[in-house]
Amino acid sequence: MDQDRRRGDGLPVIDAPPTRRQLLCGLGCAVVASQLPGCTIAEVFGDTAGQAVSFNVADAEFTALDDLNGMAALDVGIRKILLIRRNEAEVIALDRICSHLQCEMIPGVIGIWENDGLRCVCHNSRFSAEGALVAPPTGDTGGPIEAFAVEFDASTGEGTVYVGVDAT
Amino acid sequence: MTRVSALAAVCLFGISSAHALPRMSLTAGSPCITCHTNPAGGTGRNELGFESMNQVGLWRYGDLGLDFLDAERHTIAGRVEVGYDFRLLVARLGQLTATADESGEKIVQVPDYALIPMQFQPSVAIQFTDWLKVYGSYTPGPKTLSDGVVCDNVFPGQECFEAALQFESPGLPLVRMGKIQPSIGIRLDDHTAYIRGDAANRSGPIIAPNYAEWGAETMYHPVSWFRVEAAVVKPDNLDEALNGVSETADLGAVAYGGRISFLPQLEFGGEIETEAGDDDFDDDFDASPPAKPTVINTWVGASLFASGDFNLVTGFVGVGGHGGWEVRAEVSRSERTTTHETLNAMVAASYTPVDWLSLGLRAERARTTTDRDERRADQYVASLEFFLLPGVELRPEYRLVETESSRFGHAVIQLHTFF
């Protein structure tokens, strides 16, 4: 501490004007910082092959589909799917990633099924059962989310989701 | 004057920067209330806090020929303290997604960089008497002006204002009542931290930024190495955070908070300044300064915040020195009525070689177990706090976030101005 340097009100000044070393350090930091945007790491885990994936509401991860409006998550490679028990006879499958800012619509937490539509809690995007964007967030635009074909047998609780492949 | 000088020295010498950060408290060995109106820190600085931050910057306004911007003080008539915090962030806003092209090759879509207004929070504090202060702040949201909404909160459970009466008298516990944030763990200025977040809902933390409730808290700090707080609040915003989407916690009519902290300061070597020497502080220009002891500040403590079937338990430990270094860790666990348990941890370290530049590292781990599955999110942050001018900070960071489905690292930069 330099006790000789004091301001008019008696409080000491704790540091001197920047030295050349400090300026170079600051410039170095700025240069490093400016290069960082090029250092983006972007990996999404999972494979890309199209698949037909079976599910059964008797399985623990899908028991929510036993109830009307129940939702369950299903990952098919890189695709994140949201299964929704739309009515007694029908289970639908929608993309779980919101088209607005890519929030993951975790069932019952961020993705809410209400009024026969899907609401993303992040910024209140609303989608129809077919994946069409019904209401974008205020002041924003957005697009639809993908809907996937589903075959579902309510009597057995078994179903199949077709992701990247045609339904048979 | 002697007392004021001594307190100023705590801020000016001990705190090598002037920002509302836990690292400041650890390196200086002084509580947040030394420089902040609110004993828990945050927006709203007292005169000492203002003076300390007014000294920090690579340049001073006068160096750039902008002397008119050199603020002398922020107190009006000696009783009214005004201030603000403003933050802009440039970051890739959104999450990674992937598709496959016709050959089945994976194509990862990276969100574009966007300019994100994070915070504009003016504050005021009025010292009515020696023992009574009133303080408050207000935070408009992105739609406040366009929709005419008074409280436009980005996060569930976030509050747009705080306002409190604060009673403080030497030797007695400090009491504040009104719309307050109870003391929960260590208050951070980074709302992206996972420590009181939720890996299953990263945009819906348990304790939101600027979380506040109607209630009261008392703080007793009888000796320098021990502090305790106790609070009772009405958990309206906690209810919104936990039950806004679906009922996950059966909360009681009130929430109880408590925090206990042990803050021993260890000194090694050096010469001890006498009271007489302290009294001569302003006059003895030519005397050689006494050799400084090596000072190690520590804290260790825990907090509990609970209501009904919900509880949030936090433990924290930290160590720092006047050399500008500090290391701290925090662990937080919460549970609620439904199966929704969080267990989060954070380790952070920083080094401040000069007052206008600080280097920081932070590693975080968040786990949430629900009746559906277990979610994880790990975050690693390397940052620089670069104070260009008094009250103007640039904070470039590199953030790497890894979840069960993706790994996403990118650089962000934050502009923070404050007064």
Identify whether the C-beta of residue A120 lies closer than 8 Å to the C-beta of residue A100.
Answer: yes
- Could you read off the pLDDT of B240-299 as tens digits, one per residue? 999 877 788 999 999 999 999 999 999 888 765 555 545 555 555 666 777 778 889 999
Residues, chain B: 419
Q: Which residues contact B102 (CB under 8 A, 6 or more apart)?
A: none
Residue A1 confidence (pLDDT)? 36
Cα separation values, B259 from A16, B40, B197, B217, Å: 40, 11, 19, 11
A145 touches chain B (CB under 8 A): no
Partners of B257 in beta bridges: B231, B305
- Could you read off the pLDDT of A22-70 as tens digits, one per residue? 666 666 766 666 666 668 999 988 888 888 999 999 887 888 899 999 9
pLDDT at residue B317 tops 60: yes
Q: First CA to last CA across chain B, in angstroms? A: 24
| Closest-CA residue to B174 (of B187, B183, B184) | B183
Backbone angles phi, psi at B127, to 5 degrees: -90, 100
Q: How confident is the model at residue B414 (pLDDT cuts 50, 70, 90)?
A: very high
Nearest residue of A to residue B155 by CA position?
A122
Residue B238 confidence (pLDDT)? 96
Closest CB from A3, A18, A44 relative to B108:
A44
CA atoms within 13 A on the CB side of B76: 7
Which residues in A lie closer than 8 A to residue B384 (C-beta atoms)? 29, 33
CATH superfamily for B2-268+293-418 is Porin (2.40.160.10)
- Could you read off the pLDDT of B370-386 as tens digits, one per residue? 877 788 999 999 999 99
Residue B415 confidence (pLDDT)? 95
How many helices (H) does chain B have, and how many strands (E)? 6, 20
Closest CB from B1, B59, B384 relative to A33:
B384
pLDDT at residue B91 tops 90: yes
The torsion region of residue B367 among left (phi > 0), alpha (psi -120 to 50) and beta comes to beta
Q: Average pLDDT of chain B?
A: 85
Taking the CA atoms of residue B142, residue B148, residue B154 and residue B158 in that order, the dihedral angle to the nearest 10 degrees is 130
Cα separation values, A5 from A15, B198, B387, B391, Å: 9, 49, 21, 22
Cα separation values, A46 from A76, A78, A103, Å: 8, 5, 18
Question: What distance in Å separates residue A151's CA from the closest CA in chain B?
Answer: 23
A120 touches chain B (CB under 8 A): no
Looking at residues B160-168, what average pLDDT do you find? 95
**CB atoms inside a 10 Å sphere around CB B394:** 18
Question: DSSP for chain A?
Answer: --TT-B-TTSPBP--PSPPHHHHHHHHHHHHHHHHGGG--EEEE-S----EEEEEETTSGGGGGGGSTT-EEEEEETTEEEEEEE-SSS-EEEEESB-TTT--B--BTTTEEEETTEEEETTTTEEEETTS-EEEPPTT-------EEEEEEETTTTEEEEEESS---
pLDDT at residue A14 tops 70: no
pLDDT at residue B229 tops 80: yes
Residue B43 confidence (pLDDT)? 79
Q: Do A102 and B111 touch (CB under 8 A)?
A: yes
Question: What distance in Å separates residue B153's CA from the closest CA in chain A?
Answer: 11
A144 touches chain B (CB under 8 A): no
Residue A86 confidence (pLDDT)? 93
Q: Which residues contact A35 (CB under 8 A, 6 or more apart)?
A: none
Which residues in B lie closer than 8 A to residue A33 (C-beta atoms)? 384, 394, 396, 411, 413
Which of B60 and B9 is assigned the larger pLDDT?
B60
| Coil vs helix vs strand at B23 | helix
| Closest-CA residue to B185 (of B299, B297, B266) | B299
Q: How confident is the model at residue A116 (pLDDT cuts 50, 70, 90)?
A: very high
Q: How confident is the model at residue A137 (pLDDT cuts 50, 70, 90)?
A: confident
pLDDT at residue A152 tops 60: yes
ipTM over 0.90: no
Cα separation values, B175 from B32, B40, B97, B210, B304, Å: 15, 12, 49, 20, 19
What whole-number percentage of chain B has pLDDT above 70? 90
Q: How confident is the model at residue B144 (pLDDT cuts 50, 70, 90)?
A: confident
pLDDT at residue B133 tops 80: yes
Residue B281 confidence (pLDDT)? 53
| Closest-CA residue to B405 (of A90, A47, A66, A160) | A47
Taking the CA atoms of residue A77, residue A80, residue A84 and residue A90 in that order, the dihedral angle to the nearest 10 degrees is -40
Residues 3-62 of A with CB under 8 A from B: 3-4, 10-15, 17-18, 22-23, 25-26, 29-30, 33, 36-37, 39-50, 61
Tell me the C-alpha distance between B182 and B257, whole Å: 7
pLDDT at residue B399 tops 90: yes
Identify whether the C-beta of residue B157 lies closer than 8 Å to the C-beta of residue B144.
Answer: no
> How many whole angstroms from its chain centre is CA B178?
20
Which residues in A lie closer than 8 A to residue B404 (C-beta atoms)? 45
- Could you read off the pLDDT of B52-79 as tens digits, one per residue? 888 889 988 888 887 777 777 678 888 9
Place of tokens 């050959």: B103
Q: Do A44 and B96 touch (CB under 8 A)?
A: yes
Which residues in B lie closer than 8 A to residue A3 (C-beta atoms)? 285, 289
pLDDT at residue B19 tops 50: no
Which residues in A lie closer than 8 A to residue B375 (C-beta atoms)? 106
Looking at residues B94-99, what average pLDDT do you find? 82
User: In this structure, are strands A133-135 and A125-128 parallel, antiparallel, or unpaired?
Assistant: antiparallel
Q: Which helix (H) or strand (E) holds B48?
A: helix B47-53
Tell me the C-alpha distance between B327 and B334, whole Å: 24
Backbone angles phi, psi at B218, to 5 degrees: -115, 145
- Could you read off the pLDDT of B177-210 as tens digits, one per residue? 999 999 999 988 788 899 999 998 887 899 998 8
- Could you read off the pLDDT of B318-353 as tens digits, one per residue? 999 888 899 999 999 999 987 889 999 999 999 999
Identify whether the C-beta of residue B6 lies closer than 8 Å to the C-beta of residue B285.
Answer: no
Identify whether the C-beta of residue A142 lies closer than 8 Å to the C-beta of residue A135.
Answer: no
Burial of B218 (0-12, 13-18, 19+ CB in 10 A): middle
Backbone angles phi, psi at A37, to 5 degrees: -55, -25
Give all strands of the β-sheet with A133-135 in edge-to-edge order. A111-114, A117-120, A125-128, A133-135
Q: How confident is the model at residue A9 (pLDDT cuts 50, 70, 90)?
A: very low
Q: How confident is the model at residue A16 (pLDDT cuts 50, 70, 90)?
A: low
A107 touches chain B (CB under 8 A): yes
- Could you read off the pLDDT of B239-254 as tens digits, one per residue? 999 987 778 899 999 9
| Closest-CA residue to B391 (of B139, B69, B89, B117) | B69
Tell me the C-alpha distance between B225 and B222, whole Å: 8
Interface size A-B, in CB pairs within 8 Å, comes to: 158
Tell me the C-alpha distance between B414 and B383, whole Å: 10
Backbone angles phi, psi at B185, to 5 degrees: 55, -145
Residue B250 confidence (pLDDT)? 94
Looking at residues B211-217, what average pLDDT do you find? 97
Place of tokens 């007014």: B54
Backbone angles phi, psi at B26, to 5 degrees: -70, -40
